[in-house]
Amino acid sequence: YQYTYPFDADLDMCPVCGDTVSGYHYGLLTCESCKGFFKRTVQNNKSYTCSESQDCRIDKTQRKRCPFCRFQKCLRVGMRLEAVRADRMRGGRNRFGPMYKRHRALKQQKNALLQSHGLKAEYTPDLISPPTRTPFNFTNININTTPSDTITSDLHTQTHSGYSFYQNEPRHESPQYYHVSPLGALYSPVHAMAVIGDCSGIPGIPQAQCSGSFSAQGPALPHLLVEFLRCELDELQVRSKIIGRLEQMQGEGGSGGYGATHMYLMVDQMLFYIVEWARGSVFFKELKVSDQMKLLHHCWCELLVLDMVSRQLQHGRQGSLVLVTGQEVDLPALVSPAGPLLRTLVQKGQDLVESFRKLQVDRNEVVCFKFLILFNTDVKHVENQSFVENVKEQVHRALLEYTLCAYPQFLDKFDKLLLCWSDLCALSTLAEEYLCSKDICGEVPCNNLLNELLHAKHHSM
């Protein structure tokens, strides 16, 4: 099995059953059969029941099996009850026309953007081939979590209680549409999307066409991203381990303060878990240990900085710094007695957090970023360089694909993300400089990871 880039393939797949689409039907691109099914169901006020647990898989071969779940899925992916005409008038156009047009334009723009990044829909088959061990198997990935939604398929309850989609149009010739409860809109994927991205520009068009199927929780994630998310360490677990370790060390070492030494030891512990994360991660763990070390020597500080930044993004408030340990450090208090190096470090750090926040960088993007950083080697001498570069390319794609799908209105977000990355690199250089400086590592034992990494870096330069 090979990973296929799902962008174009899924574009003409029905979001309900995966069959080939025949055009826009009731709000989105679907196949002919689901169009018919939806029409019959709404027109005849059908109500179905599910003999299983209301989470049946709907695909081309099984779609006939459970009409209840099929209709649920129709609603979930965003098919519009309002588009079925109550008076059965034929022909003509409805209000969705401009929406379809807009959606088409958006799709085209997106493809253009993809091409401008040199990513074709066709996929080179053997791009991913891990060097020694068995290739990673993507077939086991199942991202279709089954939402427990409460949409009723009983149209009687929805039909007469709501408003008319067309109530402001008095013209008698125009078709009369079914009255639909606003409740229906609440369950549309568009509503779900609003949580993570701006989709105000395309009312009623779910992002299902971006990259295929659409779960109620959000867009389908690129397979790679799903895999990356699995590699994440549990933040709380890491936190408690680090706290434990720090307490232990401070018990031994005497001073229990929260000064530079404490920071140094904490950063050292963070690095330990960054290494642990990397060692357990897809692709990375396939590499020889010597290559692993080269990559980590190259990027540990960027990973460290990204970790700090993303934490501020999650829990942080302006004017304070949240550490892995959960402690909150008041920034003015930290900065006022500090040297110039720490001052600029804090300032630029704040700037970076701010630009991440403005960009609405989400967790998925951060996770992709970590891999982008991990595999971003311009160092030669990595033995399996082609593998590393292929992975890098894959991550690049996954991030681009995700960003385009999750934030379809925000077409240059990906480019801006990359700009942020270069800011992050600059910040990381500064951070490294600071960690080397006598400000912080003056009275710390030498046999630790941070020291070793700093040391190795200096030798390679």
Partner DNA sequence: ATAGCCTTGAAA
Partner DNA sequence: TTTCAAGGCTAT
CA 125 vs CA 1, 13, 128, 129, 218: distances in Å: 10, 21, 8, 10, 29
Residues 17 and 445: their CA atoms lie apart, in Å, by 61
Contact residue for DNA among 51, 88, 135, 385 (CB under 7 A)? 88
Contact residue for DNA among 64, 156, 315, 317 (CB under 7 A)? 64
Stretch that binds DNA, among 16-24, 218-226, 324-332, 372-380 (CB under 7 A): 16-24
Give, for 198, the enclosing helix (H) or strand (E). none
| Shortest distance in whole angstroms from residue 232 CB to DNA | 40
Contact residue for DNA among 31, 193, 331, 405 (CB under 7 A)? 31
Contact residue for DNA among 4, 8, 32, 346 (CB under 7 A)? 32
Q: Residue 189 or residue 197: which is nearer to DNA going by CB? A: 189
The verdict on 166 binding DNA (CB under 7 A) reads no
CA 156 vs CA 11, 141, 179, 181: distances in Å: 34, 39, 11, 11
Q: Residue 21 or residue 192: which is nearer to DNA going by CB? A: 21
Q: Residue 99 or residue 382: which is nearer to DNA going by CB? A: 99
The verdict on 105 binding DNA (CB under 7 A) reads no
Q: What are the strands, taking DSSP E only, across 20-114? A: 23-25, 28-30
Does the CA dihedral 442-446-451-457 come out positive or negative? Answer: positive
The verdict on 174 binding DNA (CB under 7 A) reads yes
Q: Residue 21 or residue 406: which is nearer to DNA going by CB? A: 21
The verdict on 424 binding DNA (CB under 7 A) reads no
Contact residue for DNA among 13, 74, 83, 199 (CB under 7 A)? 83
Q: Residue 40 or residue 363: which is nearer to DNA going by CB? A: 40
The verdict on 176 binding DNA (CB under 7 A) reads no
Contacts of 170 (CB under 8 A, 6+ apart): none
Residues 353 and 33: their CA atoms lie apart, in Å, by 48
Residues flagged as binding site for a phospholipid derivative: 339-342, 434, 438
| Shortest distance in whole angstroms from residue 219 CB to DNA | 22
The verdict on 52 binding DNA (CB under 7 A) reads no
Token digits for 202? Answer: 């395309």
Q: Exposed/middle/buried for 44, CB within 10 Å: 0-12, 13-18, 19+?
A: exposed
The verdict on 39 binding DNA (CB under 7 A) reads yes
Query: How does DSSP assign 95-129, residue by residue?
Result: TTHHHHHHHHHHHHHHHHHHHHTT--SS--GGG--
| Shortest distance in whole angstroms from residue 30 CB to DNA | 9
Stretch that binds DNA, among 59-67, 332-340, 367-375, 453-461 (CB under 7 A): 59-67
Contact residue for DNA among 15, 27, 78, 197 (CB under 7 A)? 27
Rounded to 10°, the helix 235-253/260-279 angle is: 140
φ/ψ of 215, rounded to 5, equals -90, 165
Beta bridge partners of 320: 330
Residues flagged as binding site: 339-342, 434, 438
Q: Residue 154 or residue 276: which is nearer to DNA going by CB? A: 154
Stretch that binds DNA, among 20-28, 224-232, 314-322, 343-351 (CB under 7 A): 20-28
Length of the chain: 461
| Shortest distance in whole angstroms from residue 97 CB to DNA | 5
Contact residue for DNA among 92, 125, 280, 442 (CB under 7 A)? 92
**Per-residue b/e over 414-430, b at no fewer than 16 CB within 10 Å?**
beebeebbebbbebbeb
The verdict on 170 binding DNA (CB under 7 A) reads no
Question: Is the CB of residue 82 less than 8 Å from the CB of residue 178?
Answer: yes
Q: Residue 204 or residue 219: which is nearer to DNA going by CB? A: 204
The verdict on 264 binding DNA (CB under 7 A) reads no
Residues 303 and 79: their CA atoms lie apart, in Å, by 42
Contact residue for DNA among 1, 53, 93, 337 (CB under 7 A)? 93
The verdict on 19 binding DNA (CB under 7 A) reads yes
The verdict on 84 binding DNA (CB under 7 A) reads yes
Stretch that binds DNA, among 32-40, 152-160, 239-247, 419-427 (CB under 7 A): 32-40
| Shortest distance in whole angstroms from residue 296 CB to DNA | 52
Contact residue for DNA among 2, 9, 12, 23 (CB under 7 A)? 23
Token digits for 23? Answer: 């055009």
Which is nearest to 366 in space by CA: 417, 295, 423, 404? 417
Question: Is residue 294 helix, strand or coil?
Answer: helix
Beta bridge partners of 163: 180
Q: Number of residues interacting with DNA: please give it, by CB under 7 A.
A: 35
Question: Which residues lie near DNA (CB under 7 A)?
Answer: 19, 23-27, 31-37, 39-40, 43, 63-64, 67, 83-85, 88-94, 96-98, 100, 173-174
